[in-house]
Amino acid sequence: GVIHVLSDSIAQITERTLLVTREPTISGPDFARTARFGAFGAADGAVSHGWFLSLDAVVGESGAVSETIIKVAADQLVYTPLFCIWFLAAFVVLEGRDPRLIPTVLRAEWAELLRGNIGFFLPLTFLIYGMVPRDERVLAFGAGSLVYTWILSLWNNARGEARVAANLELCSLGEDDDCQPMPTAPPRSRAFLSIGVRRALVDTRRRVLGMRR
């Protein structure tokens, strides 16, 4: 849990540092977001610990090349896909969204999260299982998890902003004061339209209407 809290805090500092020049009024730390990552991290830490112990008990812990290959394969083919499901489903609930959205979220984002996880942890896992003594693996995986969870927090927040952007209303520059909704793109492509672009369109409409008055 501590690693997840620290990683999310660093991720938020990173986001504020990158956005401060574009959005001077950006808000302070999101403690609710950090609390969600802390809660998930506490639960995930217990599950991961049990997984490592079980894997050592079943496969062995001599450090042989064959054992390392089996452990890495089990980690990437069994644990990692389940972790991605567990993460996405947990955050639907922790963010207060309808649990019935979980299947939709999994279909849309599970493969992307899985690819990123494997790309980061595959070489790291092979290195740790093959070279790090069992008593030091928790520390080694903890260091790797600190970096990975920082990336994961940035990714998770970005997809949240994409959901917000997809729900923002675009207005045409009509002569009346009422917002005339513009045609929207299909959900998959619309999600890539940034919040900044949508806000700029709405702000432009307001300035034009102000000039006409």
In angstroms, the CA 97 to CA 120 distance is 28
Does pLDDT of 194 surpass 60?
no
Q: List beta partners, residue 171.
A: 181
Does pTM surpass 0.85? no
168 SS3 class? coil
Backbone angles phi, psi at 80, to 5 degrees: -60, -45
More confident position, 14 or 40: 40
Does pLDDT of 156 surpass 60?
yes
Backbone angles phi, psi at 25, to 5 degrees: -95, 15
